[in-house]
Amino acid sequence: MQIRNTKSKDEVLRILSQSDYALSHTEIENQCAVAFDRVTLYRILTGFEQQGVVHKIVGNDGKARYATCKNECTDHEHHKDNHLHFGCNDCGKMYCFDNKTIELKMPKGFKAQQFNYAVFGTCPDCNQ
């Protein structure tokens, strides 16, 4: 399967790479200069995730958020996004702590493929 460049994808990537925190579908839609279908965004993000361009983090609210991968992926090891995230219960922002990686040995027989490390609470902006 080949990959083609489109305006939609460029726009989504621009928004994600310019953001300093992970964005939900809705947040991305609201920032889009170009208009395109909701389903398209789902497919673009799923594609980016599989290519290792972005990583997904799911919050306590069950909603997915996406951020560009700072730790670049190799061809053999994709989506290894094992750093900590922080979701603010007040403003809803999801922060990436790229330098706080979590390395854990899985118990015998468990093979790790994706990581979803998140802590929730209040962020500095919302602590008064």
Residues lying near DNA in the complex (CB under 7 A) are found at 1-9, 24-26, 35-40, 42-44, 46-47, 62-64
User: Which DSSP state fits 59?
Assistant: -
Q: Is residue 117 a contact partner of residue 102, using CB atoms and an 8 Å limit?
A: yes
Give the interface with its own copies as residue ranges (CB under 8 A).
Answer: 56, 58-64, 84, 86, 89, 95, 97, 100, 102, 104, 106-124, 127
Closest to DNA by CB, 26 vs 122, is 26
Closest to DNA by CB, 60 vs 71, is 60
Tell me the angle at which helices 38-51 and 7-18 cross, rounded to the nearest 10 degrees.
Answer: 70
Closest to its own copies by CB, 10 vs 90, is 90
Q: Is residue 125 a contact partner of residue 91, using CB atoms and an 8 Å limit?
A: yes
